[in-house]
């Protein structure tokens, strides 16, 4: 990986756009704001930051997140010197922002997904890293960039959320080493944990309880799933981020090997969130142009909820581990 070239490109670029993926999670948002904060700290220049879809309220504490603009607020005819995708495993994950990506003088792709095909001019992909936040920390170290507390909070959030609070199998010694260095800078692990995992609203908890109560179990309770319809979200006044943590609750059941939630989308189609203890759910989601990690992945299926559930179940039943 050519870190000196990345440093030179960032240094020489007058206008930079950083893009996060659709249905943003803590890794893509923490990485985007972490990179923004690092460029600001080391080169005193501000970048544009783009969210493809609504940013979950739970991440409102992330430094500079209030400076992120939605894709609809951007002039698609603009040409940037540099566009950087963070945690974007496939180019279609930035939707219509691909127009700006393709027009840029130079493009960079920073990621940790094994399915990433290195689609940019310059690619920094490490499938062995826990998260894109960890990949970025290594980039900053190689470029001898200064780190401050804002950068550390962003990167710690990225690592914490993509490892499921250091519980998932992608958590390795290097993950703890990186997290420790961020704590040394001043990150308060307890504070960030509470903000991410202990800030649910009453309506969210009630909605999730409702959805868990109607969960279905198949194959000797090895498969667990539930559905979330628009009427459910309206009944409990819940937002689009209502799936956060719901799939984890189903996976936590002792008999469960694969769990998923199918949520009806306002724009049509069904959003799928999958978790597993044994099976590679990323491969299942890739069938539907989604992806993620071996035990945590997601996709969107252009079909009503009932049909989408049938499609997912058909793929799950092909898995030998079940």
Instruction: Annotate the chain with three-state secondary structure.
Output: CCHHHHHHHHHHCCCEEEECCCCCCHHHHHHHHHHHHHHHHHHCCCCEEEECCCCCHHHCCCCCHHHCEEHHHCCCCCCCCEEEEECCCCHHHHHHHHHHHHHCCEEEEEECCCCCCCCCCEEEECCCCCCHHHHHHHHHHHCCCCCCHHHHHHHHHHHHHHCCCCCCCCCCHHHHHHHHHHHHHCCCHHHHHHHHHCCCCHHHHHHHHHHHHCCEEECCCCEEEEEECHHHHHHCCCCHHHHCCHHHHHHCCCCCCEEEEEEECCCCCEEEEEEECCCCHHHHHHCCCCEEECCEEEEEECCCHHHHHHHHHHHHCCCCCC
The confidence score (pLDDT) of residue 244 equals: 72
User: Model's pTM, two decimal places?
Assistant: 0.91
The confidence score (pLDDT) of residue 196 equals: 95
Phi first, then psi: give them for residue 293, nearest 5 degrees: -115, 170
The confidence score (pLDDT) of residue 99 equals: 97
DSSP lists the bridge partners of residue 293 as 296
Residue 319 has pLDDT above 90, yes or no: no
Residue 241 has pLDDT above 80, yes or no: no
Instruction: Delineate the domains of the chain, giving CATH numbers in brackets.
Output: 3-197 (3.90.1640.10), 202-316 (3.10.310.30)
What distance lies between CA 271 and its chain's CA centroid?
14
User: pLDDT tens digits, residue range 99-109?
Assistant: 999 999 999 99
Largest CA distance in the chain: 59
State the pLDDT confidence band at 321, using cuts at 50, 70 and 90: low
Q: Lowest-confidence range among 143-157, 234-248, 252-266?
A: 234-248
The confidence score (pLDDT) of residue 290 equals: 86
The confidence score (pLDDT) of residue 200 equals: 85
Q: Which has the higher per-residue pLDDT, 291 or 166? A: 166
The confidence score (pLDDT) of residue 105 equals: 98
State the pLDDT confidence band at 209, using cuts at 50, 70 and 90: very high
Q: Lowest-confidence range among 5-19, 172-186, 258-272?
A: 258-272
The confidence score (pLDDT) of residue 308 equals: 98
The confidence score (pLDDT) of residue 204 equals: 87
């Amino acid at each position: 990986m050519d870190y000196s070239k990345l440093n030179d490109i960032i240094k020489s670029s007058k206008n930079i756009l950083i893009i996060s993926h659709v249905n943003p999670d803590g890794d893509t948002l923490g990485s985007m704001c972490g990179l923004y904060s690092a460029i600001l700290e080391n080169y005193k220049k501000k970048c544009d930051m783009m969210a493809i879809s609504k940013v979950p309220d739970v991440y409102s504490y992330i430094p500079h997140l209030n400076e992120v603009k939605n894709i609809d607020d951007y002039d698609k005819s603009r040409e940037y010197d540099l566009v950087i995708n963070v945690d974007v495993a496939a180019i279609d994950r930035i939707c219509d922002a691909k127009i700006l990506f393709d027009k840029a003088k130079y493009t960079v792709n920073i990621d940790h997904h094994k399915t990433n095909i290195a689609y940019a001019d310059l690619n920094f992909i490490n499938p062995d890293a826990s998260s894109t936040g960890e990949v970025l920390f290594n980039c900053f170290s190689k470029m001898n960039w200064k780190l401050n507390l804002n950068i550390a909070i962003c990167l710690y959030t990225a690592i914490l959320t993509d490892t499921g609070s250091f519980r998932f199998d992608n958590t390795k010694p290097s993950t703890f080493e990186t997290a420790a260095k961020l704590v040394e800078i001043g990150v308060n692990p307890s504070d960030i944990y509470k903000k991410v995992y202990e800030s649910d609203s009453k309506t969210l908890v009630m909605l999730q309880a409702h959805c868990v109560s109607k969960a279905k179990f198949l194959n000797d309770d090895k498969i667990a799933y539930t559905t979330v319809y628009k009427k459910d979200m309206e009944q409990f006044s819940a937002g689009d981020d209502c799936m956060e943590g719901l799939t984890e609750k189903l996976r936590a059941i002792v008999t469960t090997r694969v769990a998923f939630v199918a949520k009806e989308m306002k724009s049509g189609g069904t959003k799928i969130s999958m978790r597993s203890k044994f099976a590679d759910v990323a491969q299942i989601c890739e069938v539907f142009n989604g992806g993620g990690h071996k035990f945590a992945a997601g996709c969107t299926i252009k079909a009503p909820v009932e049909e989408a559930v049938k499609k997912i179940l058909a793929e799950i039943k092909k898995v030998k581990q079940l």
